[in-house]
Structure 1
């Protein structure tokens, strides 16, 4: 298995510099492919505007690489929608997509619904909380899909520094320590159960692109398990050589606290468990503790267990494709 991973790393791992922008625009013209960029967003008014503006300026106005930027707002209480629209995105509210089906909270839910309001042959997902964003994130992961017909899904890989509080205004940066759930939960699961995927540097990263023809055939876990679930399901559906990764540099974003990471880990474990056995958890919940005035207080959270079916199974989606 190690030999297979090493072969994959040598043939399906690239740098953003391997495909210059002029090569991508030429490939786009030749193939006639269209590209949608989707930002799932919840209370990201501080960062979403700069991301949208960079993609629009660099990849729509300066060169015609991206055809649409769609921000799917999943119920923000701040000015996320207004900021995104002012920067040039088309903003769609999660609850307005497929209204016959009540939405449930979760990132995967938003990504799944985005397929109904985008039209690109290639769909590129970008998290809305990135700081110091570069449009290389988009060109890097879209590039192999435009230039290699054998590639179906591309993940971004990057350094992910962790900002640690040290009493100063900005804090101290710990290089390579940002992917805590990846290192403590996702990477061990993948290495033990799906060792073919051991070569992915950032298996849980929110920046990836895929062909619509693949995405519409995948089930979507509604919560934080969506990235792991998508990677495992894509492996079984199209094979390892249809998956790839591209180095885009450094990813900076806000970091979750330890309890939020615990809930994310539980959702990811549940997603893996479903794919291993399709069994039932005895107790699909996670209890964590916070110190109160009289000692530790338990807080119990439900674990994301729901999944949405492949989009191609929905009548609304099939009728939209025909239209």
Structure 2
């Protein structure tokens, strides 16, 4: 298995510098594939505008690489939608997409619905809380899809400095996701950032995959993509440094629980329960329990949704 991972790393791990923008633009013209970029956003007025402006300036105006830039607002209480629109993005509220189906809270829910609100042959997802954002995050992950027809799914990899504390972020990755992948899906052990929010895939693959509605979406898509198209169709690209806000320990615990449950569902789909996670905070009378549901719901492959099928026929 180690030899297989090392062989994959030598063939399917690249740097963003390996594919300059002029090469990607030529490949896009030759292949005719369209590219959509989706930013799921919840209360990100401080960062979403800069990300949108950078993508528009570098990848839509200077080099015509991105055809569609969509921000899906999942219920922000700040000026996220207004800031994103002013910077040049199309903004759609999560609940306006597939309105017959009541939305549930969660990042995966937003990404799943975005397939119905976009039209690109290639769909790239980018988190909306990134700081000091570079267009390399987008060109890096769509590059292999534009230049190599055998690649179907691409993750970004990067350094994740832990602001103000030294060391690296990605604590849920190192403490939960990476051990799970190495033990149960060792062919995926070569992914540097398996939970990273920046990745791109062919629509023809994404529409065939179920989407966990919550934080487990990245792990779920990666594992299901492996089983759907095989390891050689997966790739990763080094795009430099990723800076974003970091969560506190209890939030990380809830994320880890969702990751574990997502893996568990894929290991034993016939034994489903809705688990809960109890954590503790200090109150006036000592430590008080706080119990949270762990995301277990998943949306079906978008190809199975009637509205999506009707749109494709039209």
- Report if aligned partners of 1:273, 1:279 keep a CA contact under 8 Å in 2: no
- Report if aligned partners of 2:265, 2:272 keep a CA contact under 8 Å in 1: no
State the match for 1:183 in structure 2: 174
Listed as ranges, the matches of 1:154-173 within 5 Å are 154-163=154-163, 171-172=164-165
Give the whole-Å Cα distance in 2 for the aligned partners of 1:280 and 1:88: 46
State the match for 2:23 in structure 1: 23
Is residue 231 from structure 1 mapped to residue 225 from structure 2 by the alignment? no
Is residue 308 from structure 1 mapped to residue 299 from structure 2 by the alignment? yes
Give the whole-Å Cα distance in 2 for the aligned partners of 1:290 and 1:262: 13
Corresponding residue SS for 2:237: strand
State the match for 1:168 in structure 2: none
Corresponding residue SS for 2:76: coil
Gaps of 5+ in 1: 164-170
Corresponding residue SS for 1:116: helix
State the match for 1:211 in structure 2: 202
Corresponding residue SS for 2:282: strand
- 1:283 Cα offset (Å): 5.9
State the match for 1:167 in structure 2: none
Give the whole-Å Cα distance in 2 for the aligned partners of 1:235 and 1:63: 32
State the match for 1:260 in structure 2: 251
Give the whole-Å Cα distance in 2 for the aligned partners of 1:202 and 1:88: 29
Corresponding residue SS for 1:319: helix
State the match for 1:41 in structure 2: 41
Is residue 270 from structure 1 mapped to residue 261 from structure 2 by the alignment? yes
Give the whole-Å Cα distance in 2 for the aligned partners of 1:151 and 1:281: 33
- 1:322 Cα offset (Å): 1.1
- After TM superposition, the runs of 4+ consecutive aligned structure 1 residues lying more than 3 A away are 279-283
Q: TM-score, length-normalised on structure 1? A: 0.96
Give the whole-Å Cα distance in 2 for the aligned partners of 1:283 and 1:109: 17
Give the whole-Å Cα distance in 2 for the aligned partners of 1:146 and 1:14: 14
Give the whole-Å Cα distance in 1 for the aligned partners of 2:78 and 2:256: 27
Give the whole-Å Cα distance in 1 for the aligned partners of 2:50 and 2:311: 32
Give the whole-Å Cα distance in 2 for the aligned partners of 1:202 and 1:101: 32
Give the whole-Å Cα distance in 2 for the aligned partners of 1:27 and 1:298: 55
Give the whole-Å Cα distance in 1 for the aligned partners of 2:210 and 2:237: 24
- 1:281 Cα offset (Å): 5.2
Deviations 1:162-195 (A, max 9, x none): 12xxxxxxx34x23x2000000000000000000
Q: TM-score, length-normalised on structure 2? A: 0.99
Give the whole-Å Cα distance in 1 for the aligned partners of 2:142 and 2:252: 29
Give the whole-Å Cα distance in 2 for the aligned partners of 1:314 and 1:230: 18
State the match for 1:292 in structure 2: 283
Gaps of 5+ in 2: none
- 1:237 Cα offset (Å): 0.3
State the match for 1:76 in structure 2: 76
- 1:280 Cα offset (Å): 3.2
Corresponding residue SS for 1:76: coil
Corresponding residue SS for 2:116: coil
What's the Cα RMSD here? 0.8
- Report if aligned partners of 1:222, 1:306 keep a CA contact under 8 Å in 2: yes
Give the whole-Å Cα distance in 2 for the aligned partners of 1:37 and 1:282: 35
- 1:279 Cα offset (Å): 3.6
> How many residues are paired up?
314
Give the whole-Å Cα distance in 1 for the aligned partners of 2:285 and 2:309: 56
State the match for 1:166 in structure 2: none
